[in-house]
Amino acid sequence: MENKYFTLNNGVKMPCCGLGVFQNKDPKLCEKSVICAIENGYRMIDTAAVYGNEAAVGRAIKNCGVPREELFITTKLWFADCGYKKAKKALERSLKKLRLDYVDLYLIHEPYGWVKNAWRAMQECVREGKIRAIGVSNFGIKELENLIKGAEIVPAVNQIELHPFYARKELIKYLESRGILPEAWAPFAEGKLDIFRNPVICGIAEKHGCTAAQVILAWLHAQGVAVIPKSSKPERIRENGEFFKVNLSDEDIVAIDSLDRGESLFPWDKGYKVPLRKTLGFFHLGV
Ligand SMILES: NC(=O)c1ccc[n+]([C@@H]2O[C@H](COP(=O)([O-])OP(=O)(O)OC[C@H]3O[C@@H](n4cnc5c(N)ncnc54)[C@H](OP(=O)(O)O)[C@@H]3O)[C@@H](O)[C@H]2O)c1
């Protein structure tokens, strides 16, 4: 894979494409997938405390043979640890599991709990050299505006659900205006709605002599969005990493834009779990 980079709002360079490891729970398979990705040129890995695979990612980083400073490692703070002291402890736990002295990007996983206190802790960890860039995930415009008010550091990244069925143009525009990089989770909608056999996407793939997965990633990249496709299969990891060769026309982009349904495909984004998470957030004050 050819590596391309975005420059974050603090000057740190972040690869445009990385490997996601959500639901890659088997430690051996997860370690193998990360090593396979790195061997195929990936330099960014996206994990989270709540995925339960930071230790496997850590082993892969140690055994991959690529110097640490060439890699870009993202992990995330779970909402139950969203407080000042809890965030600091959670970062230490993640660093230990990952066998690292610092992470490249640390994200607040969801906008629940004592977000502002966690952010204060994360800002301090940046100054202490334990994190190179901080950001958020699953934040809407209101939540971002609230966080930015009074913050010393503006989030570098907002990692959000983003795929052809949920294109979120307004949020992307807002993020651009604030200098926050959008990063797509579930770029393939986790395979929902038969995305890999969608006639519009497959028609464009046929025209360009590439795969549906590559068309989707190229469409996101064309909008200035970072991508972290997940696969545990070597041939798919390779395939996904090769999307930079696909040059979509304006017409292709408009055709894919037309697939937007304007709503999340995942229940937690529709609010089913929000009251529960808000309540739990209170029980884990940790301020
Ligand atoms: N911040 C958040 O709240 C949040 C939430 C969800 C995910 N994420 C991050 O975003 C990453 C990506 O999202 P995701 O894992 O949910 O879903 P995804 O990347 O949209 O889809 C992954 C699914 O697509 C399959 N797949 C991958 N490449 C393929 C290809 N070329 N052809 C056909 N099928 C293919 C994978 O199967 P195989 O593995 O069998 O290949 C897997 O079932 C995650 O791994 C995680 O790091 C973040």
The domain limits of the chain are 5-283
- Catalytic-residue membership of 51: yes
Q: What is the pLDDT of residue 274?
A: 53
Q: For 9-64, what is each residue's pLDDT tens digit?
A: 999 999 999 999 999 999 999 999 999 999 999 999 999 999 999 999 999 999 99
pLDDT interval class at 3 (50, 70, 90): confident
Q: Tell me the C-alpha to C-alpha distance, in Å, between residue 63 and each of 32, 112, 221.
A: 10, 35, 30
Class of domain 5-283: alpha beta
Q: Which of 5, 42, 51, 84 is catalytic?
A: 51
- Looking at per-residue pLDDT, the higher value among 94 and 267 belongs to 94
CA of 129 to the centre of ligand 1 (A): 30
**Strand 13-15 relative to strand 5-7: parallel, antiparallel, unpaired?**
antiparallel
Rounded CA gap, 147 and 112, in Å? 12
Q: For 77-87, what is each residue's pLDDT tens digit?
A: 999 999 999 99
Q: Is the CB of 233 within 6 Å of ligand 1? A: yes
Q: Is the CB of 201 within 6 Å of ligand 1? A: no
Closest residue by Cα to residue 287 from 115, 64, 97 = 115
Residue closest by Cα to atom 14 of ligand 1: 186
Residue closest by Cα to atom 29 of ligand 1: 236
Q: Specify the pTM.
A: 0.95
Q: For 104-131, what is each residue's pLDDT tens digit?
A: 999 999 999 999 999 999 999 999 999 9
pLDDT above 80 (res 203): yes
Q: Is the CB of 231 within 6 Å of ligand 1? A: yes
Whether the Cβ atoms of residue 111 and residue 83 lie closer than 8 Å to each other: no
Residues 6+ apart with CB under 8 A from 191: none
Q: What is the pLDDT of residue 268?
A: 65
Q: Is the CB of 188 within 6 Å of ligand 1? A: yes
Q: Which of ligand 1's atoms lies nearest the C-alpha of 188?
A: 20
Beta bridge partners of 15: 5
Q: What is the pLDDT of residue 2?
A: 78
Task: Give the number of other Cβ atoms within 10 Å of residue 259's Cβ.
Answer: 17
Closest residue by Cα to residue 181 from 146, 152, 144 = 144
Q: Tell me the C-alpha to C-alpha distance, in Å, between residue 86 and each of 81, 110, 199.
A: 5, 15, 47
pLDDT above 70 (res 272): no
Q: What is the pLDDT of residue 283?
A: 43
What is the average pLDDT score of the chain? 94
Q: For 170-184, what is each residue's pLDDT tens digit?
A: 999 999 999 999 999
Residue closest by Cα to atom 25 of ligand 1: 231
Q: For 132-174, what is each residue's pLDDT tens digit?
A: 999 999 999 999 999 999 899 999 999 999 999 999 999 999 9
Whether the Cβ atoms of residue 30 and residue 54 lie closer than 8 Å to each other: no
Q: Give the sheet arrangement for strand 157-161, strand by strand.
A: 19-20, 44-46, 72-77, 103-108, 131-137, 157-161, 181-185, 226-227
Q: Is the CB of 226 within 6 Å of ligand 1? A: no
